Amino acid sequence: MRIRLVLILGLIALGGCELAVPNGLFGCGQPTDCPSGYFCWGSDSRCYDSKEPECAPKTCDQVIGDFASLGIPIECGALPDGCDGSIECGGCAEGSVCGANGQNFICGCEENTCANYGGGAECGAVPTRCGGDEGAISCGSCFGEQICVDNQCVCPSGVNCDPGCDGGEPTYPCTTNECSPPGGLPDGCGGFTNCPPCSNGEDCVLSDDLLYECLGACTCEAQGVECGSTTICGSPTLCGTCADNGFDGGYHCESGRCVCRDSFESNDTFDTFALICGEGTGLNCMQDAWGIDVQATLHSSQDIDYYVLQVLDAPTPIIAQTFGGLSNRVLSLTYLCPDGSEGMDKCSGSVDSAEGIKFCFSESDPIGIERRCNESVSSAMGLVLVGVEASTFRGVCDGYQLNVFATFGTEVPIQF
């Protein structure tokens, strides 16, 4: 359940009042995120007091019609079916390619390049205009005594074809790169090769695969949009789904970006915490000793996951630790008394402030605090705040398990 800290403080003040929860008030990623008697709907990740109707996938005609009403023309490709899946629609005539030249979901003529012609042309001329005879691009010459046959460098029978690379081997970089940066690309023999320049106003850019490609400004990729629909260069444009754009099952589309599928997102700002124990979670931390385990992910080196627990105000120490994943992590932990004042008394790590609140920080698990509050306060519920971030980030959508628990002093596994 994603909830603002000020709302949680308000719930503390209300104490045991019975609250009517409006439909759609709380966000959710799993059933336990919702209050008792409410259900987590997958269509909008909100809590409702009735079960979600079974999703019926849309047909191609329905999906294409929906996008047509938004001014987005669709001719082919894998389209979102409205049920978190995709459906393959349409097709292109022989000689046409779906998504040619960066125009998603449109059939077109894909210009030949040295990189895509015949599996990669090492030499000779390649016809442009999809195999037409209106022009050609040069893919270079062969080294040494090799000759160009069907755009591949081969050695004639009976000839010593030493390429003259001082023991090296030619690499023919234009077989994998559409274009080259100023100065060319290393040819494996101590020189540089210039691949054919981009056309139609496209720019030569280095892709995420560390290959140079021609990219037009009015494309999803050039605009940094990975999924969903948006307006590019004044035209409504569909940029597809995460799965069909090469992301694995751990991702979903959020505001045009493929981000980690995490039940607790977006809990990455200080004023929006994920409530993992307390009202509406189905878990109860209103006793001296308790324990909570959650599975979550860090989706980038800048990601910080924040959690809050509604707990019994008791003298038992609180411990937090993480397991699994590839990244090295930093944990932060603190306690707020029932009246909202700071209640952290001792810290097993170092003390620093975040957003005006003192936290206990540690780069090694586990981390622990002791708490102390004004015993005259009548309310019995305090707040535990936990933060998880990467000190060294390794791997996109790096999963981890967070364990937070309160225990008696004789069982504390750390020294204060």
Contact 77, 84 (CB under 8 A): no
Query: What are the tens digits of pLDDT across the range 193-233?
Result: 999 888 777 889 888 778 999 888 888 888 888 888 888 88
What lies within 8 Å, CB to CB, of 407 at 6+ separation is 289, 316, 317, 319
In the chain, what are the domain boundaries? 2-43+263-411, 60-108+224-260, 112-198
Find how far residue 104's CA is from the centre of its chain: 21
- Percentage of residues of the chain with pLDDT beyond 90: 28
Q: Is the pLDDT of residue 27 over 60?
A: yes
Measured CA to CA in angstroms, residue 242 lies from 80, 221, 261, 398 at distances of 10, 13, 11, 17
First to last CA, the chain: 32
pLDDT level of residue 117 (50, 70, 90 thresholds): confident
Residue 331's identity, in one-letter code, is L
Tokens of 397: 């959508």
Print burial letters for 195-230: b (CB count within 10 Å at least 16), e (below 16).
bbebeeebebbeeeeeebbbbbeebbbbbebbbbbb
Lowest mean pLDDT among 53-62, 264-273, 300-309, 345-354: 264-273
Which pLDDT score is estimated for 293?
92
Higher pLDDT, residue 56 or 102: 56
Q: Is the pLDDT of residue 377 over 90?
A: no
Which pLDDT score is estimated for 379?
60
Question: For the chain, what is the radius of gyration of the CA atoms?
Answer: 29
**Nearest by Cα to 152 from 124, 193, 190:** 124
Q: Is the pLDDT of residue 3 over 90?
A: no
Q: Among 133-147, 163-177, 284-298, 394-408, which range has the highest average pLDDT?
A: 284-298
Query: What are the tens digits of pLDDT across the range 318-363?
Result: 999 999 888 899 999 999 999 889 999 999 999 999 888 999 999 8
Summarize the confidence of residues 174-190 as an average pLDDT.
91
Q: Is the pLDDT of residue 378 over 70?
A: no
